Structure 1
């Protein structure tokens, strides 16, 4: 395992989407405290800022509904007080509901049209603000983007942004590419850790790991799945990225997916862990777990499985 990550990433994403007023509350503190009980030693504190449409160039990260700086600092300090290592994960979303992967402009800037240069200027302000918080609070890892498929090809902009971030934040950087993009990104050399969203159909894990493995070998960098998981819903094992897939609640389906994923990745020592998706700032009651069909494994069979597998990862690392 890598010295950059200093052990396996037994992780869970917390707090998404970072709605103002939902962090720094007793309910949020209780939610976060439940994660270490499930073997979690890392957490991605994830929040989004909004731009109006995929063609807008202003990211309004200082405005509601995005969490405040005080809430972000609270979450970082709360996680650290519980013994977890912290990845800060600022993400941009579109207010009109379009998935961020579709944010995009003409390949070359032209007068009179919104441009990548304008967008990256706003994104730079958002990320440098997060980098300053990360440096001040001793964050262990900063994620500089998430599933920005159309933006991924803007290599010069990303390299310039990464250089600017390194002038503010002294810790390691990762970028969370989308599923199927691990072998398409051209600037992995600019970050310290390669990470991706591993929402792969349950029967394709071996094939996808075969595809990803040469990328990791070529770059010689640590890798983990910054997002992975499956809703506790019938049919979701074949479409784990589809949070709106119709189906009845099924903790068994989710546990099945976790088991296959953990087993496949255990055979690949270059997979250094997972940041499972996801754990809300306000948890449902344990009595309601069986009827909850979302990604959170709390109170479900997948939660017990995760605790066991994360314990195994920790034991293997300590040998």
Structure 2
């Protein structure tokens, strides 16, 4: 009887141990900052799709790609882009058991790509470093205060990182001194493999706008073939650093050629194609969500006023009130 009891106890311990390694996927949305505060009405649609995480995105602004000073947390900004808004959003979402990633972002005037931020002198690089440190450490303190589950140290800043790698490595140490949760960086899809500080972070963050199909309406089969060019490299990268991959942004526009250059937000791409959006999203879910080396991700993007967002005539990224929303709901329910 003692032998049977001990075997039973051993089985129970092993079972509990194995269970502890199973982690819930991050089924997230990129929650867009607005002019207004949010309430339960704005959160209910997130609960309806079974989202368990939201990325909250305060903004800093730069006048041009070579300008070194970041303006942030000013009265001229929208409520959700400032500290007061971040705290209100987080407090409201956490009441409904939605976890938080705080993901501060830079906006360059006229919407120029942040990856191109580059200074023309050593003096300006120093000013930019000082300005960015103030910006990111301010929100790292907020993340610690509100007990955010994840903090993102930057988004798509490849040229800044390429030119100043030592600054970034030292900055992450400073952030660790302020914020005690999990860290990631949102690398652009064609940047992550040369980002030099993954060993200092907890997740390998990728904004997953990988090209997967040149077809006008990408088929499921074409998209699956398209991922063969990228997925093995992503998996190998996870294994190299022994860290989970997190899609800090993922999604497709509801337009023709949605899988060709998924990062494009050009207004001249305006032919609505809902099937293109659902097919590309379906394959992304099928290829990644069951992988043990994949942590999950954040749909780009989700607006607070659900009833007035997206819709069958909308050609933008948001899945709201489109067929792909039901697909996300089904996936997140799993």
Shorter-normalised TM range: 0.7 to 0.9
Compared CA separation, residues 274 and 220, structure 1 to 2 (3 A): same
Q: Counterparts of 1:275 and 1:2 in 2: how far apart (Å)?
A: 25
Q: Counterparts of 2:137 and 2:317 in 1: how far apart (Å)?
A: 30
CA contact (8 A) 2:207 2:250 kept: yes
Q: Counterparts of 1:25 and 1:86 in 2: how far apart (Å)?
A: 15
Taking only aligned residues, the RMSD between alpha carbons, in angstroms, comes to: 2.2
The structure with the larger Rg is: 2
CA contact (8 A) 1:4 1:172 kept: no
Moved over 6 A (4+): 1-5
Q: Counterparts of 1:255 and 1:209 in 2: how far apart (Å)?
A: 19
Compared CA separation, residues 181 and 4, structure 1 to 2 (3 A): farther
1:72 match = 86
Selected match of 1:11 from 19, 28, 35: 28
Compared CA separation, residues 3 and 100, structure 1 to 2 (3 A): farther
1:269 match = 292
CA contact (8 A) 1:23 1:281 kept: no
CA contact (8 A) 1:178 1:197 kept: yes
Selected match of 1:24 from 18, 21, 37: 37
CA contact (8 A) 1:31 1:282 kept: yes
* 1:260 partnered with 2:290: no
How far apart are 1:272 and its partner, in Å? 1.8
How far apart are 1:277 and its partner, in Å? 0.3
How is 1:159-178 mapped onto 2 (pairs within 5 angstroms)?
159-178=169-188
2:117 match = 103
Question: Structure 1 regions of 5+ residues with no counterpart?
Answer: 313-319
2:215 match = none
Give the 3-state SS of the residue equivalent to 2:124 in structure 1: coil
2:216 match = none
User: What is the TM-score normalised by the length of structure 2?
Assistant: 0.84
Q: Give the paired residue count.
A: 300
* 1:143 partnered with 2:113: no
Give the 3-state SS of the residue equivalent to 2:254 in structure 1: coil
* 1:300 partnered with 2:317: no
Compared CA separation, residues 284 and 294, structure 1 to 2 (3 A): farther
How far apart are 1:184 and its partner, in Å? 1.3
Compared CA separation, residues 5 and 299, structure 1 to 2 (3 A): farther
Offset from partner CA, 1:204-228 (integer Å, 9 cap, x none):
2222111122211011112111111
How far apart are 1:25 and its partner, in Å? 4.4
